[in-house]
Structure 1
Amino acid sequence: MAVADFVVVANRLPVDRIEGPNGEEEWRTSPGGLVAALEPMMRSAHGAWVGWPGQADLELEPFEIGGIDLIPVTLSAQEVAEYYEGFANDTIWPLYHDVIAPPQYHREWWEAYVVVNRRFAEAAASAVAKDGTVWVHDYQLQLVPQMVRELRPDVTIGYFHHIPFPAHGLYAQLPWRDQVLRGLLGADVIGFQRAQDATYFLTAVRRRLRYEVKGSAVSVPSGPGETRTAVARAFPISIDTAPYIELAARPEVQARAAEIRESLGNPARILLGVDRLDYTKGIGHRIKAYGELLAAGRLHVEDVTLVQVASPSRERVDAYAHLRDEIELAVSRINGDTDTVGHTAIRYLHQGYPREEMVALYLAADVMLVTALRDGMNLVAKEYIATRADNRGVLVLSEFTGAADELRQAVRVNPHDIEGLKDAIMEAVHMPPREQGRRMRALRKRVLENDVDAWSSSFLRALDEVHPR
């Protein structure tokens, strides 16, 4: 396979393995926003994508789909357990999300992380053309930028961090804190969701490595008496708005939204939560607040229903199995206490849904509840806004999401404050149509103008500025 001028490196390839009509295995492009943002550019720039195909011990040759070269990285079952489920998702994930769950620090997990990051870096270094660009994505691959730079000092390297970066007091817990910082500083541009995340990173660099930091620029040693500049700043990610707008306008999707309302007993208000089943998402907090509103008689099950979509996530990690038990117990208790024959307090859906069904749910919902305890961005909030061409609906949004920096017309909440969350839900339930319209128009303007294409373009412009051709 020929070398590429532009190489994306991510934990997963942008395709899913599915069974074809005759039982044969096929690859289908994943519906993620990152794929949509980069696909046109990768086609025009002869791009390649380095990633794991999602199955342990699967050895594949590079292949091509839709004009993009895909370069699979093989992981053994042990590496999936130690690098991915272990270090990435049981060490880095909880640490970077404010230690909502306790991180686990195991040396063998770290060793697997180093080995796998090197494998990704070697694949990227082999795939990129001379003076090309490598764009590395997310917390699973924080060592890759430095490793690529050592192998290919001619290339431009970007890194984007999709999750939060923790304050130094928390980050300092990580036994391998300096190695991770040096890994990230291999990039020319290190992008974060929020300005706060970039500040936390720069503080860690200053305090741990003692490198000179001026504004967003870091002077990184590059040889005896030599330095190069790395830039760390915010590039808030967004969504590909077009599919959501198009689906929301379809008569059959609108009819499905009406059908959903009918199936719930046509309540006056539908509240909606859409999350991965993750302890960072604050699902338990919103269920507790809603249950207390019902118990106090401030809301009534005949009038208001909560639909909670909680798609399965990392079910082999103990913390997630415990969380599922807690959520399902809370739901069953509230439903047992408050349901009537014709109305259910909480419709709990532990499964994923195709985009068409999600858009129908967004259209059916009067109030979108995003109560994350910590979230890099939260694209569900932006998806809900994109579908609301009617300028109706209310977004209740945690101030601990990256989206809260941009979506200022949402009803903002501290999800840890259950009384405040209850008041916010009541405000949203009773918000007059005129006030809904005023807020939603401003929210939609922001989301439609700052879509995922604008995000990727701004990041790549920053790369060109730091490392011009």
Structure 2
Amino acid sequence: MAQAEFVVVANRLPVDRVDGPDGEPAWRRSPGGLVTALEPVMREAHGAWVGWPGQADLEVEPFEFEGTDLVPVMLTADDVELYYEGFSNDTIWPLYHDVIAAPRYRRVWWDAYVRVNRRFAEAAAAAAAHEATVWVQDYQLQLVPQMLREARPDLTIGYFHHIPFPAYGLYSQLPWRRQVLEGLLGADVIGFQRVADAGNFARAVRRQLRYETRASGIRVPQSDGTSRTALAKAFPISIDAQSYADLAARPDIQARASEIRESLGNPRRILLGVDRLDYTKGIRHRLKAYGELVEDGRISVEEVTLVQVASPSRERVEAYVQLRDEIELMVTRINGDYDTLGHSAIRYLHQGYPREEMVALYLAADVMLVTALRDGMNLVAKEYAATRIDNRGTLVLSEFAGAADELGTSLRVNPHDIDALKETIMRAIEMTPAEQGRRMRAMRRKVLEGDVAAWSKSFLSALDATRENS
């Protein structure tokens, strides 16, 4: 396989292994914004994508898929447990999400994280042509930029951080805080979702490494006594907005939305939550607020139904097992107290759905509840706006989600303040069509203009600029 001019390095390959019609293993494109965003760039550059195929101990030779060279990185069952479930999702994830759950610091997890990051870096170095551009994605691979720079100083290296970056007071807990900062500073451009995240990163660099930071530039000393400038700034990610709008215009999907409303007993208002089952998403706060509104008599289950889609997530991590039990207990209690024979208070769905069904749900919902306690961006908020081609519907959006910086006409809320959350939900339920239209039009304009193609273009332009200036 020829070396590529453009290489993406991500924890996962952009394909899933499935059983083909003849029972033989086959590959199909994964759903997801990142895959969609990078597809045109990959096709144009005939790029390579380095990632794990998604199954432990699966050894696969590099292969081509729809115009992209895929370079699989093998992870053993131990690697998955220690590097992925352990360090990535039981140390970094909770720490970077403001310690909503307690992070665990285990040296054996860190050792595995270093080992696996090196494996990814070596695969990327081998796949990249001379003076190629390499774009590393997300918190599972924070050490890869520096490892790549050491192995291949000719490369232009970008890194994008999809989750929040915490305030220094929290970040400083990490026993390997210097190594992670140095790992990230191997990149020429380090992208974040929010301006605040880029600021938190620069502050950590100043406090820990004593490097000089100016505006978005960080002076990184080199071993030969010179220095280079790494750019750390916000590039808020988005969605393929037009594809959501196109789905929303399809008559079969609109008919499905009517069917959903009917199956719920045609309530006056449908509230919707769509999340991975994760403690950062504020699902408990949302259920509590809804339950209290019913208990207070301010809404009735015949009039207002809550649909909560909670797709399964990290089911081998203890904190997630516990969360599922808590949420299912809350749902059962509220439904047991308030359901009628004809109407459910909460329709709880612990499963994932294809995009078409999600768009039908968005169209059926009068109020979208995004009550994350901490979220890098939250693309569900943008998906809801993109699908509302009727300029109706109301978005209740946590101020702790990155999307709140951009979707200024949503109803923003602090989900920790249950009384305020209840009042905001009532305001959304009672909002006039004229006000819904005014707010939704502004949000849709923002999402359609700042789509995922604009995101990747702005990041890669910044990366090109650093190449020209070096």
TM-score above 0.5: yes
Which residue of structure 2 lines up, in the alignment, with residue 380 of structure 1?
Answer: 380
The answer to whether structure 1 residue 284 and structure 2 residue 281 are counterparts is no
Which residue of structure 2 lines up, in the alignment, with residue 330 of structure 1?
Answer: 330
The alpha carbon displacement at 1:23 in A equals 1.9
Which residue of structure 1 lines up, in the alignment, with residue 225 of structure 2?
Answer: 225
The answer to whether structure 1 residue 169 and structure 2 residue 169 are counterparts is yes
- Whole-Å separation in 2 of the counterparts to 1:468 and 1:382: 34
Residue 16 of structure 1 aligns with an amino acid whose one-letter code is: D
TM-score normalised by L of structure 1: 0.99
3-state SS of 1:261 partner: helix
Q: CA RMSD in A?
A: 0.6
- Whole-Å separation in 2 of the counterparts to 1:120 and 1:89: 18
The alpha carbon displacement at 1:130 in A equals 0.4
Residue 293 of structure 1 aligns with an amino acid whose one-letter code is: L
- Whole-Å separation in 2 of the counterparts to 1:259 and 1:410: 27
Consecutive unaligned residues in structure 1, runs of 5 or more: none
**Cα-to-partner distance string for 1:434-463 (whole Å, 9 max, x where unaligned):** 000000000000000000000000000101
The alpha carbon displacement at 1:464 in A equals 1.1
The alpha carbon displacement at 1:94 in A equals 0.0
The alpha carbon displacement at 1:24 in A equals 1.8
- Whole-Å separation in 2 of the counterparts to 1:297 and 1:223: 68
- Whole-Å separation in 2 of the counterparts to 1:253 and 1:242: 15
- Whole-Å separation in 2 of the counterparts to 1:225 and 1:113: 30
- Whole-Å separation in 2 of the counterparts to 1:254 and 1:285: 30
Which residue of structure 1 lines up, in the alignment, with residue 202 of structure 2?
Answer: 202
- Whole-Å separation in 1 of the counterparts to 2:467 and 2:251: 48
Residue 212 of structure 1 aligns with an amino acid whose one-letter code is: E
- Whole-Å separation in 1 of the counterparts to 2:223 and 2:86: 34
The alpha carbon displacement at 1:225 in A equals 1.9
Which residue of structure 1 lines up, in the alignment, with residue 115 of structure 2?
Answer: 115
**Cα-to-partner distance string for 1:199-222 (whole Å, 9 max, x where unaligned):** 000000001000111111011011
Which residue of structure 2 lines up, in the alignment, with residue 138 of structure 1?
Answer: 138
3-state SS of 1:324 partner: helix
- Whole-Å separation in 1 of the counterparts to 2:14 and 2:340: 45
3-state SS of 1:280 partner: helix
The answer to whether structure 1 residue 428 and structure 2 residue 419 are counterparts is no
- Whole-Å separation in 2 of the counterparts to 1:228 and 1:390: 50
- Whole-Å separation in 2 of the counterparts to 1:79 and 1:33: 26
Which residue of structure 2 lines up, in the alignment, with residue 317 of structure 1?
Answer: 317
The alpha carbon displacement at 1:468 in A equals 1.6
**Cα-to-partner distance string for 1:220-239 (whole Å, 9 max, x where unaligned):** 01123200110000000000
3-state SS of 1:130 partner: strand
Which residue of structure 2 lines up, in the alignment, with residue 7 of structure 1?
Answer: 7
TM-score normalised by L of structure 2: 0.99
Which residue of structure 2 lines up, in the alignment, with residue 235 of structure 1?
Answer: 235
Higher mean Cα deviation, 107-116 or 215-224?
215-224
The alpha carbon displacement at 1:466 in A equals 1.4
3-state SS of 1:363 partner: helix
- Whole-Å separation in 2 of the counterparts to 1:252 and 1:230: 49
3-state SS of 2:163 partner: coil
The answer to whether structure 1 residue 53 and structure 2 residue 59 are counterparts is no
3-state SS of 2:222 partner: strand
The alpha carbon displacement at 1:31 in A equals 1.5
Residue 335 of structure 1 aligns with an amino acid whose one-letter code is: N
The alpha carbon displacement at 1:241 in A equals 1.1
Consecutive unaligned residues in structure 2, runs of 5 or more: none
Residue 16 of structure 2 aligns with an amino acid whose one-letter code is: D
The alpha carbon displacement at 1:409 in A equals 0.2
- Whole-Å separation in 2 of the counterparts to 1:393 and 1:402: 20
Higher mean Cα deviation, 148-157 or 20-29?
20-29
Residue 232 of structure 1 aligns with an amino acid whose one-letter code is: A
Residue 83 of structure 1 aligns with an amino acid whose one-letter code is: Y
Which residue of structure 2 lines up, in the alignment, with residue 366 of structure 1?
Answer: 366
The answer to whether structure 1 residue 464 and structure 2 residue 450 are counterparts is no
- Whole-Å separation in 1 of the counterparts to 2:31 and 2:55: 18
The answer to whether structure 1 residue 400 and structure 2 residue 400 are counterparts is yes
Residue 343 of structure 1 aligns with an amino acid whose one-letter code is: H
The alpha carbon displacement at 1:18 in A equals 1.2
State, as a whole percentage, how many aligned pairs show the same letter. Answer: 75
- Whole-Å separation in 1 of the counterparts to 2:440 and 2:242: 17
- Whole-Å separation in 1 of the counterparts to 2:59 and 2:284: 40
- Whole-Å separation in 1 of the counterparts to 2:321 and 2:78: 20
Higher mean Cα deviation, 300-309 or 28-37?
28-37
Instruction: Could you list the structure 1 runs, at least 4 aligned residues long, displaced by more than 3 angstroms after superposition.
Output: none
Which residue of structure 1 lines up, in the alignment, with residue 306 of structure 2?
Answer: 306
- Whole-Å separation in 1 of the counterparts to 2:22 and 2:243: 29
- Whole-Å separation in 2 of the counterparts to 1:212 and 1:117: 27
Which residue of structure 1 lines up, in the alignment, with residue 18 of structure 2?
Answer: 18
- Whole-Å separation in 2 of the counterparts to 1:294 and 1:153: 61
**Cα-to-partner distance string for 1:138-186 (whole Å, 9 max, x where unaligned):** 0000000000000000010000000000000000000000000000000
3-state SS of 1:70 partner: strand
Which residue of structure 1 lines up, in the alignment, with residue 96 of structure 2?
Answer: 96
Length, aligned pairs only? 469
- Whole-Å separation in 2 of the counterparts to 1:242 and 1:357: 17
Residue 153 of structure 1 aligns with an amino acid whose one-letter code is: P
The answer to whether structure 1 residue 254 and structure 2 residue 263 are counterparts is no
